[in-house]
Amino acid sequence: MAVQRAFARGERVKLAENYARALMLKRSMDWLQRRGTVRYCSPATVYILWDGRTTMDTVPVRGVERAEHETPLHA
| CA distances (Å), origin 7, targets 18, 24, 28, 55 | 19, 24, 27, 19
Q: What angle do CA 2, 69, 66 make, to 5 degrees?
A: 35
pLDDT, tens digit, for every residue of 3-54? Answer: 455 889 999 999 999 988 888 887 777 888 899 999 999 989 999 999 999 9
Q: Determine the length of the chain.
A: 75
- Ordered by start, the domain boundaries in the chain are 12-66
Third-level CATH fold of 12-66: SH3 type barrels. (2.30.30)
pLDDT tier at 69, thresholds 50, 70, 90: low
Stated pTM of the model? 0.77
